[in-house]
Structure 1
Amino acid sequence: MGRSVQWMVLVIFLGLASSLAAAERSLLVDSFSGRVDAKGLPQGWELKENSGKAEFKLEREGNNWFLRLRSENSSWTLVKEVDVDIREYPILTWRWRVTKLPEGGDVRRKETDDQAGQLYVVFPRFPEQIRSQIIGYVWDSVAPKGMVLDSPSANPPPTKIVVLESGEEKLGQWVTEKRNVYQDYKAFFGGDPPRLKRISLWINTQHTKSSAECHFDDIIFRKP
């Protein structure tokens, strides 16, 4: 084997090793690369409509694909089943962009509990409808950024809401979020967390009878 061939083999080997190491440090939920199933849903996701009609689409900007959610006096979610040990992969990162906030939305009151951007992580416990533990990260219209509260609409199961973004300051901009879900779970529920089994992307405007739009991309769990 010539030196040039040996060098090429070494480069390929190192590249594969680096890719494998990077993969072991992260778990990709979705980067929305344009693939849809027979129902037009992003592959691996399930649609649940609570009221009104869901509007969603995979869209492209340059070489990048993302998921667009839109709500018009409606409430619905896209759900993906996962299996994550957040003790090993505690860091959750994602990008989102809100282009329209629901007018009058305010997570602090049930009658105005509408948000454009909502990402929920679900820890199922039997019976799920009563005992599951849920953390929601939201982009609210007016509630203070950094606020943590019990969901005014979930009764039961117990749902903690974290306001990560608020208002129009970053409207139309891609924002990258990073949360230590393990630390959040310990702070909100205590004890040792079960495996995280579900991711839910939600949008709703039925309380305020308004409209909203949010885009999602690159949802990833990572090691510290």
Structure 2
Amino acid sequence: MFRQKYTIFVLAFILLASVSASAEPVYDTLRVPLPASVKDGELDGWSVQNWKGRSEINLVDTDAGKALHLKSKASSTAIYKDMEIDVNEYRYVNWKWKVVSVPKGGDVRRKKADDQAGQLYVIFPKWPSSINSRLLGYIWDTTAPAGLKLTSTKMSTTKYVVVKSGSKELGVWHTERRNVYEDFQALFGNEKLKAGRVSIMIDSDDTDSSAELFITDIYFSRN
């Protein structure tokens, strides 16, 4: 009798565990939420790093919905959101952006002119994080041609994909979609790392010029 009851108990436990596991939600997308508010250069839910000077950062209403608005004048600023993303599962990063102005003479291929108006990074932490983390950047460059993939002239652990180039498509919203998994494999090799941070950056300090960016609707998707 005891064995029969024990068997029934074990089967019931397995069934309950199976139901619980199957009931876990499976999402097709993983959104990167915009800051809830922006005030005096502080972003609710995000962090700010001013590398040189202070860029203007605002949360604004646009025809594409709420968006982050960044303006740089001989400055370099990064904002970032910590969140874990398994790019083996969520392989695509999607976003909308509009660049209003690009840094004059900016060129990611030249260390002394390495400025871009639009920069979206997917960051893969690796200890020690300050020197080993992998940064995969999707950029709008002034000069380098779209489609180019390259290593940063400043940090070997930063790799770029030039998504847009030049000034012909300024002032218009563009919807982008990139396969992060494939880009990472192509640029860093077969490393098995999870993303741990998403960052947006704008800079115009190397060229001593200016740049302006709107960006919104950032999310990761399975397909």
TM-score, length of structure 1 as denominator length: 0.84
Q: Secondary structure at the match of 1:24?
A: coil
Map 1:204-215 → 2, pairs under 5 A? 204-215=203-214
- Gaps of at least 5 residues in structure 2 are 1-23
Give the match's secondary structure for 2:32.
Answer: strand
| Alpha-carbon contact 2:38-2:59 (below 8 Å) kept | no
Q: Give, in whole Å, the separation in 2 of the partners of 1:140 and 1:130.
A: 25
Residue 52 of structure 1 aligns to which amino acid in structure 2?
G
1:96-115 correspondence runs (5 A): 96-115=97-116
Q: Which residue is 1:188 aligned to?
A: 187
Can you give the 5+ residue segments of structure 1 that lack an aligned partner in the other structure? 1-19
CA distance in 2, matches of 1:165, 1:63: 19
The within-5 A match list for 1:28-107 is 28-30=31-33, 32=34, 35-36=36-37, 41-61=42-62, 64-107=65-108
| Contact persistence 1:81–1:197 (CA under 8 A) | yes
Distance change (3 Å), C-alpha of 1:43 and 1:52 = same
Q: Equivalents in 1 of 2:111, 2:82: separation in Å?
A: 27
> How many percent of aligned residue pairs carry the same amino acid?
41
Pick aligned residue for 1:24 from 27, 44, 48: 27
Paired with 2:99 and 2:27, the residues of 1 have a C-alpha distance of 31
* Large movers: runs of 4+ above 2 Å: 37-43
Match of 2:17 in 1: none
Deviates more, 1:123-132 or 1:61-70: 61-70
Please say which structure displays the higher CA radius of gyration: 2
- CA shift, 1:193, in A, is 2.5
Q: Residue 11 of structure 1 aligns with which residue?
A: none
Instruction: Give 1:197's aligned residue.
Output: 196
